[in-house]
Structure 1
Amino acid sequence: MTQEEKWRQPLLRDGNPVPVASYSKRSEAIIDFSISCRELLDNSVEDVKCFCVAYCSKGSPSNLLNAGTKQSDVGKGGSPVIPDGSLEIGRTEVVYNSANPDFSTVFNAKMSTYFDNIHDIIIAVYSEEDIMSDDLVKQRYLGCTRFRLESVLRKIGCNESLPLETGGFVTMSAKPSNVDSDYVVFCYSGKGLKKTSKNPIKAKKKVPKNPYIVLSYMSQKYSKWRVLWKSEVARRNETENFGVGQFQALRVNGADEDSLIQVLGMDWDEKKHQYKVIGQVETTLREILTAGELDLVKKGKCTGHLVPEFVERVHVPTIANYLPHGECSLNVTFAVDFTSNNGGPGNPTSVESLHYLHDWEQLNSYEVILQNIGSIFQEYMDIPKFQLWGYGSIFEGTVDHHFVMGEAGGCDGVEGMIRAYGETVRSDITMSGPKVLRPTIDAAIERAMHLSQSTGAYSILIILCCDGAISDITEVMEKVSQASFVPLSIVFVGIGDGDFRSLAEMNFESASLLAPSGNEFMRDVSSVVTLSSHNEDKEQGVHKVLEKVPSQIVQYNILNNILPPDPSRAETTQGEEICKDSQRAHAESLMETKKKSANDYGKVLRDSMADLDFGENPHTSEANGLEVSEESLQANAESSMENILMENESTNDY
C-alpha cells in the first residue's frame, strides 16, 4: 500500500471529500519503540545477562522537570530515580554475553496528541543476577537514561542515543504504530423510521421525534455489547441524517471483521425523559464495510431503514504521524496587548497596569503565559525562536497597531522573549487604543505563507488580550476566514478580568460557518481561551490554549494532501545511525584515554620537578608544559576520532 492509498480521504457518494473535522480529532496515538545498547561495561562481556526496563512518565515540561527526571539525575546512586506517577511499560528479553545488545522486544507507549502533554521514557539497564526473581533489587544495576518521546520522533531516522552514567549508551528507535490509525468512517440516514403500535391508526402518527442510532460490538473478552459510537439526535422527520461517525477498527476485538455489530435505532421522549427502541439489526464488521442498507426490526416488523451515505475504512493520522524526521516544524508568534485597557494611566510600568514588572521573582500575567506556553513549544523546536509582537500603543508619538519586540529575526527561547518584553515595557511606550487586530493577523498570514513555501513550517499566532473590546471585529472575522486557507492557527487568550464575551464569536467549532462577506471557512482555525476562568487550575488553562492546535495542523495537512512521512525511512537508517553512534562512542573513549594519559603524565612531571629546585616558579613551567601536551593530545585524539568514523563509514554497508 502506497502512502497515498494509506492516507486517502474518505469520499461521499457524490465524490466530494468527507468534512475533515468530522473524523480527524484523535486524542491519542500508539508509538512503537525498541532499545539497543552499546559499549556496556567497558566491553567486559563475560557472564553478562543484560536486559532493560522501560518506564513512561507524562506531564507538562515543568512538572516533569520538578519530578526529578533531569538527564543528569535519572541514574544517580545505585538505582534509577523513577519519578512518582511513572508506569512500567515492560521489560526486554535477556541478551547473554554481549556489550552491544540489540533487543527484539518492541514496546508500545500511548502518546497524547496534545502539545502540553510531554512524554518521558526512562530506560533502566540491568544485568540479570537472580534468574528466578523478577525483583529488580536482586539484579545488578548498570545505568539509566531518559528519552523525550517527542524528541526521538523528530530526529532524522527516528532514533536517539544517550549516555549511561556507568559507561556506554542506549539508543531508542521509535515510530507511530499502524494499528491504531485504522478507522471506520461512516454516515447513515434514516428512511421510513416509525415506532410500532398495536393500533394501526396510532401507528401512522408514531414517527420518531428525536431519533438517534447507537453502534455496539459483542466483546469477546466480556461477552456483552460494548458501545462503539452514538449519534446526536437527528432532525424530526423520516429521512434523518445521523451525521458522520467513526470508530477505531482495533476496538472491535482487534479488528476482527467477523465480530458481531449491533445497530440500535432509538427515540428520546422529552416529556418522560426516557428512550424507546425503534428497532435493531445485528450484522458483522465485514458486512458493515460493504456499505449495504440496514433494516431495523422490532417484534418481527420492519420499523425503518438505515441508508449508508458512505462507509469507508481509512487511516486517520494524528500530529504524531507528522513528527517523524522533523517534518513538522512550528513557527510560534505571540502578540501582546498594549492598549490602555490594561489599566494604569497609559503607563505600562504603573502598579495598576497588567504590564507592571515586579522587582522580585514574580511574573506578571503576560510573562506567565509567555513562559508557560513558550516552554511547551520549545520541546518541538530544534532551535527555539519566537516572534514577539505588540499592538495598541503610542511609541514616539505614533499609534502603532503592529510592532515587533526584540530582534527582527526572533527571540532566543523563552528567556529571550521575556527579556524583550521587559525592555519594551520599560521603554518610552504609552498604552493607547483602540484595539485593532487586523494588521497583526495580516502580518501573521503573510509570514505563514512565506514560511510554508520556504521551510514547510506551520505557524501559530497567540494573541494576548486584556479584554474583548475589539474595534475591528468584522474585519478580524474576515481575516480569520482567510487564515483557514493557509497553514496558520490563531488562539485568542484573555488576560486579566476583562469582559471577553465579544471574543466568543471567534471560537468557531465548525468549518461550515460563513464570514460576514459570505466567504466559507475551509477548516477550524481559531479558538478563544479566557484564563480567568481557569484561575484554580493553571495547567487546565494552558491545556485549553493549545487544545485545538494539533488537530488544526492535521486538518490542514489532510485538506492539502500533505502526507505523513513514510516510517520505513526510520527503519532504513536505523542500522546506520546505531553504527555511527557506536563508532562515535569508541572514538570519544579513545580521546578520553589520551586525555587521561596527559593528566597522568602531568602529575608525574609535577612530582619530579617538585624534587628539583631550579629557582623558578615550578607551577608556571609545569602548567605551560602540561597545556601544550594537552592541546597536542587533544588534536591527536580528535584526528583519531575523525579517522575512525571515516574508516568505518567506508567499510560498513547498511
Structure 2
Amino acid sequence: MATIGDFDPLNSTVPATKIELTVSCRNLLDMDTFSKSDPVVVLYVQGIGTKEWREFGRTEVIDNTLNPDFVRKFVLDFFFEEKQNLRFDVYNVDTRSSNISKHKDFLGQMFCTLGEIIGSTGSRLERTLSGIPGKKCGNIIFTAEELSNCRDIATMQLCANKLDKKDFFGKSDPFLVFYRSNEDGTFTICHKTEVIKNTLNPVWQPFTIPVRALCNGDYDRTVKVDVYDWDRNGSHDFIGEFTTSYREFSRGQSQFNVYEVLNHKKKGKKKKYVNSGTVTLLSFKVESEYTFVDFIRGGTQLNFTVAIDFTASNGNPSQPTSLHYMSPYQMNAYAMALKAVGEIIQDYDSDKMFPAYGFGAKLPPDGKISHAFPLNSNSENPNCVGIEGVLEAYFQSLRTVQLYGPTNFAPVINQVAR
C-alpha cells in the first residue's frame, strides 16, 4: 500500500500500459503478375516534439495473399494523456532486403491514433487504406489488447496422424495456426508452425511462445488451432480445427491432449464423417523469462574492463582531428565514450574497481610495443577506482606513451579472460 513517504513530486514517472497490436488486411491490391502480392505492414510513429515520422517496426512478409493475418505484433506504450499518432504503410515486397524502399510496391496507407484503436468497440478498428489515386486499396484491421505481466515462456511439440489428403498428386503439406480468443468471440492469430511437406502424419519441430501471446495470462482462455494444407499460390486448404486452452496444454503429454481435427463443413455433408485426423501434444514445458532486473536482484554483478586503442590510426593527439585530442576545453571522443558507458555500468559493480588497459603503443623508457599495458602503469594491480580513476589513468598514459600499432586486441582479451 502506498504511503505518504512514497510520494516524490520531483521524481515522478509517467504511467504507461503495454498494448499489443495485431494487424490484418483484406482485399489488398494485386501487384504481382503471376501470383498474388507479398504484403508487409510498416508502422511509423510521430515524435511529440519534432513531428517527424520514424519507423517503429514491421510485420513479417506473407507470400501470395491479398488477405494477410500477420503473426508478428507491435507492442507499444500507451499514454492516456498523449495523442500518439501512428502511420501504417502497406507494401508488396519483391525481396527480403531490409531496405524496403528499393524493393517494394506501395499498396496503401492509413493514419490514426493509438487511442482510436483502443477506444473502438472491442478495441477493434477497421479502416480503408488510401494513397493510390483512383484505386481501392482494401482495408486494414487492428486489434488491441493490454498485455499482462506474465513472463513465462512455453515450449511445445505436436504431431498429427491420418490427416485428410488434400493434394491431387501427393498427400498434404500440413501446418498449424494458433489463435487466442477475444472477449467479443473473435480470434487473434498468435503462432504458425513450419510446413511439413507431403505427409499425413507430420511431426512439427518444437517451438517456443510467450504465454501471454497464447492466452495473456488467462489459463482457461480458449485457444483455437487450425490445420491447413499449404499451397504455393497462397490459397491454403483448410483441413480442420480443434480448441483447447493453456491449462489443457500444461497437462503435458496425456490422453487429454490428443485432439480430433474437425471440419464442420465436411461433417455436415457426410453422415459417416468421424474426423479429419488427430493432433497430439508430444511435449510441453514452461520456463520463466528473467529480466535484467531479476538478475541484478539475484546478486548478479557486472565486471567492467576497459581497453583503449592507442594505435597511430587515431591521429596525432595534439591535433583536433585526433580521437585522442588533448583539448583544454572538452573531453575527446574516447573520454566521452568511457564516461557515457562507465557511469551506467559502475552502478552494477559493487567495488567500483575497473581494470583498464591500452594496446598498440610504444611504452617508455625503451619504446617497446605493448598490446596489453595497464593504464595506471601497475602490472600487478591494473584496477582504477571508478570511472574518474579510469579517465585519470587514460590521460596520464596519453602523455607518456607513443601511439603506434598495429591494431591487435587479442592480448587484452586473453589477459582479461585469465
Instruction: Calculate the TM-score normalised by the size of structure 2.
Output: 0.53
Paired position in structure 1 for 2:155: 185
In the alignment, which of 312, 324, 329 is matched to residue 360 of structure 1? 329
Q: Does 1:256 align with 2:203?
A: no
Q: Kindly tell me: are residues 189 and 428 of structure 1, through their superposed partners in 2, closer, same or farther at Cα, counting changes over 3 Å?
A: same
Preserved CA contact (<8 Å) 2:211 2:217: no
Q: Write the distance in 1 (CA, Å) between the matches of 2:242 and 2:352.
A: 55
Aligned residue number for residue 394 of structure 1: 362
Q: CA distance change for structure 1 residues 387 and 312 in 2, over 3 Å: closer, same or farther?
A: same
The letter for the 2-side match of 1:261 is V
In structure 2, relative to structure 1, the CA distance for the partners of 1:193 and 1:331 (3 Å cut) is: farther
Distance in 2 of aligned mates of 1:423 and 1:191? 73
**Rg comparison, structure with higher value:** 1
Q: Which amino acid aligns with 2:348?
A: Y
1:229 aligned counterpart, secondary structure = strand
Q: Deviations over 1:514-535 (max 9, x none)?
A: xxxxxxxxxxxxxxxxxxxxxx
Distance 1:276 1:392, change over 3 A: farther
For 1:379, what is the secondary structure of its paired residue? Answer: helix
Take 1:194 and 1:362, find their aligned partners in 2: how far apart are those partners?
Answer: 71
Contact 2:219 2:245 in 1 (8 A): no
1:207 aligns with one of 169, 172, 176: 172
CA distance in 1, matches of 2:353, 2:387: 8
**1:331 aligned onto 2:300:** no
On the 8 A contact 2:153/2:208 being kept in 1, the answer is no
Match of 2:187 in 1: 225
Greater percentage in helix: 1
Which letter maps to 1:263?
Answer: V
Deviation per CA, 1:368-420: give whole Å up to 9, x if none.
33222212213323443322222233323222222222363522323222232
Asked if structure 2 preserves the Cα contact closer than 8 Å seen for 1:294 and 1:306, the reply is: yes
Check whether the contact 1:212–1:242 (CA below 8 A) recurs between aligned residues.
no
1:107-256 aligned at under 5 Å gives the runs 180-189=150-159, 196=166, 202=168, 204-208=169-173, 212-219=175-182, 221-231=183-193, 233-234=194-195, 236=197, 238=199, 239=202, 241-248=204-211, 252=215, 254-256=217-219
Partners in 1 of 2:198 and 2:383 — Cα distance? Answer: 57
The secondary structure found in structure 2 opposite 1:377 is helix
* Distance across 2 between alignment mates of 1:180 and 1:309: 24
From 11, 15, 36, the equivalent of 1:87 is 15
Aligned to 1:441: 413
Aligned 8 A contact 1:196 1:303 in 2: no
Query: Is the alpha carbon distance of 1:392 and 1:261 closer, same or farther for their aligned partners in structure 2, counting shifts above 3 Å?
Result: same
Which one-letter code corresponds to 2:157 in the other structure? C
Q: Deviations over 1:342-375 (max 9, x none)?
A: 343xx454444333333322531x3333222212
Measure, in 1, the Cα distance between the counterparts of 2:302 and 2:414: 19
C-alpha distance in 1 between matches for 2:327 and 2:160:
63
SS of aligned partner of 1:331: coil
When residues 256 and 88 of structure 1 are mapped into structure 2, their CA distance, relative to the original with a 3 A threshold, is closer
The one of 219, 227, 248 equivalent to 1:287 is: 248
**Residue 386 of structure 2 aligns to which amino acid in structure 1?**
G
Match of 1:429 among 390, 402, 406: 402
Counterpart amino acid of residue 442 in structure 1: N
CA deviation profile, 1:405-448 (whole Å, cap 9, x unmatched): 23635223232222322222222222211x333322222222xx
Write out per-residue CA displacement over residues 449-485 of structure 1, whole angstroms, 9 at most, x where no aligned residue: xxxxxxxxxxxxxxxxxxxxxxxxxxxxxxxxxxxxx
- The equivalent residue for 1:265 is 227
Q: Which has the higher strand share?
A: 2
Which runs of 5 or more residues in structure 1 are unaligned? 1-33, 39-51, 54-73, 75-79, 90-177, 447-654
Tell me: CA distance 1:404–1:304, structure 2 relative to 1, closer, same or farther (3 Å): farther
Listed one character per residue, the Cα deviations across residues 109-153 of structure 1 (whole Å, up to 9, x for unaligned) are xxxxxxxxxxxxxxxxxxxxxxxxxxxxxxxxxxxxxxxxxxxxx
Contact 1:215 1:227 in 2 (8 A): yes
1:311 CA drift (Å): 0.4
Secondary structure of the residue aligned to 1:444 is helix
Within 5 Å, which residues of 2 pair with 1:305-324? Answer: 306-324=279-297
Equivalent residue number for residue 385 of structure 1: 353
Q: Is the 8 A contact 1:180 1:250 kept in 2?
A: no
**1:252-651 correspondence to structure 2 within 5 Å:** 252=215, 254-257=217-220, 259-266=221-228, 269=231, 272=233, 277-290=238-251, 291=253, 292-298=257-263, 299-300=266-267, 306-324=279-297, 327-340=299-312, 342-344=313-315, 347-364=316-333, 366-396=334-364, 397-406=367-376, 408-433=381-406, 435-446=407-418
Note closer, same or farther for the CA distance 1:360–1:266 as it changes in structure 2 (3 Å cut): farther
Deviation for aligned residue 1:289: 2.1
Contact 2:179 2:223 in 1 (8 A): yes
CA distance, structure 2, for counterparts of residue 356 and residue 234 of structure 1 = 58
Query: Percent of pairs identical after alignment?
Result: 22
Distance 1:88 1:307, change over 3 A: closer
Q: 1:37 offset after TM fit, Å? A: 5.9
Q: 1:287 to 1:86 in 2, by over 3 A?
A: closer
**Contact residue 187 and residue 245 of structure 1 kept, 8 A:** no
The alignment of Structure 1 onto Structure 2 pairs a total of residues equal to 269
Change in Cα spacing, 1:343 to 1:267, as seen in structure 2 (3 Å) is farther
Given the superposition, is the C-alpha separation of residues 401 and 186 from structure 1 closer, same or farther in structure 2, using an over 3 Å criterion?
A: same
What per-residue deviation string (whole Å, max 9, x for no partner) do you get for residues 587-609 of structure 1?
A: xxxxxxxxxxxxxxxxxxxxxxx
The alpha-carbon deviation at position 88 of structure 1 amounts to 8.1
State the shift of 1:216 in Å: 2.0
Secondary structure of the structure 1 residue equivalent to 2:10: coil
Distance in 1 between residues matched to 2:4 and 2:387, nearest whole Å:
34
SS at match of 2:150: helix
- Structure 1 residues 353 and 82: alpha-carbon distance in aligned structure 2, compared to 1, 3 A threshold: closer
CA drift of 1:266 comes to: 4.5
